[in-house]
Amino acid sequence: MQSSPKIHAQTETIDFLLFDAFSNHCLANTVEPLRAANTLSRRPLYAWRFLTLDGAPVHSSSGMQVSPHERLDQGRGSMLVVMPSYGFRGHEGWRTVRALTSAAKRYSVLAGLDTGSWLLARAGLLDGHRATIHWEELSSFAETFPQVQTLRERFVIDGPRITCSGAMAAFDLVMHLIEQDHGQLLALEVAQLFMTRDSARSHGAPAGIGRRSVNKAVMAMQDNLERPLSIAQIARQVGCTQKTLEARMMAELKATPQTVYRRLRLNLARKLVTETDQPVSEIAARCGYENASAMTRAFRAEFGHPPRVLRNGDQIAAVHTR
């Protein structure tokens, strides 16, 4: 059985229905940002399980075996993600249709990733909805399911139905959902963790002038954590006034440049506290604080406790999990 984050009352539970020849790339691009959101927030925002129709293991297109947590008929949660990827036409028979139709009653949202849209449409679960699919299958999908409004988009969210065109688009979709659920700052931090080129922008929209300015500003901040620049200096590097940068950052991230910069520095501090044995005074210097006391006050205000408590708590947790 695969391990998954512990569920609590405010955790969104997502089940992945896998079929033989599913795409490792698509699955990783979906699950890893969720895992990162949990790690960065230090809260189990998301939990996930892997399901198959009959509870038997499946193999990805590259041969990786996944042992499911449960059969589909045992699953229920916030969202069911259908992920057949390759060979999807071999899975569109009555058995899959009946299982998906039944599952639709137990999940708030149904999502079809890559070619999962085809199976949802075959079960009649996309009738009257806007949807997309891997673009190699787009024309055939539109001809086969005229009752679905087919769109050439990276992903489409239409009420309780979500469809996505492929593995790279799956990452954009999950980033959009994290931003929608938990705010743009967390989405920004997740994007930075994965070193995406446009880490400051919403992945659901094209990058306009404002987004490009914000992205450049965030990169400048990231490059200057140990010796922080003034916001005016950041703005000059971006090529705009401080007032313009503040307006654009509020529009894109719903936060001031000062708030974003402080969050980036404190995230680095938290990482160093939990992953190294460096003294707090050294960590403070590496994160641009004049002394340990100043960083400790900011750390407590941001995370609710001082660095010492976080470090001790992680050490205790590590002992108990050995």
Which whole-number Å values give the CA distances from 95 to 35, 111, 196, in the listed order?
Answer: 32, 19, 40
The CA distance from 112 to 163, in Å, is 5
The CA distance from 104 to 306, in Å, is 45
pTM for this one?
A: 0.78
Instruction: From first to last of the 322 residues of the chain, give the pLDDT tens digit.
Output: 344 444 444 899 999 999 999 999 999 999 999 999 998 888 899 999 999 999 999 999 999 999 999 999 999 999 999 999 899 999 999 999 999 999 999 999 999 999 999 999 999 999 999 999 999 999 999 999 999 999 999 999 999 999 999 999 999 999 999 999 998 888 888 988 887 655 444 444 444 567 788 889 998 998 999 999 999 999 999 999 999 999 999 988 889 999 999 999 999 999 899 989 999 999 999 999 999 999 999 999 998 899 999 887 654 344 333 3
**What pLDDT shows up at residue 252?**
86
Sign of CA dihedral 152, 154, 157, 161: positive
Look up residue 136 and give its amino acid: E
**What pLDDT shows up at residue 198?**
53
Which domains, from first to last, does the chain contain? Answer: 12-176 (3.40.50.880), 184-255 (no CATH), 260-320 (1.10.10.60)
Kindly report the backbone phi and psi dihedral angles of residue 250, in degrees, each rounded to the nearest multiple of 5, phi listed first: -65, -40
**What pLDDT shows up at residue 192?**
80
What is the pairing mode between strands 65-66 and 70-71?
A: unpaired
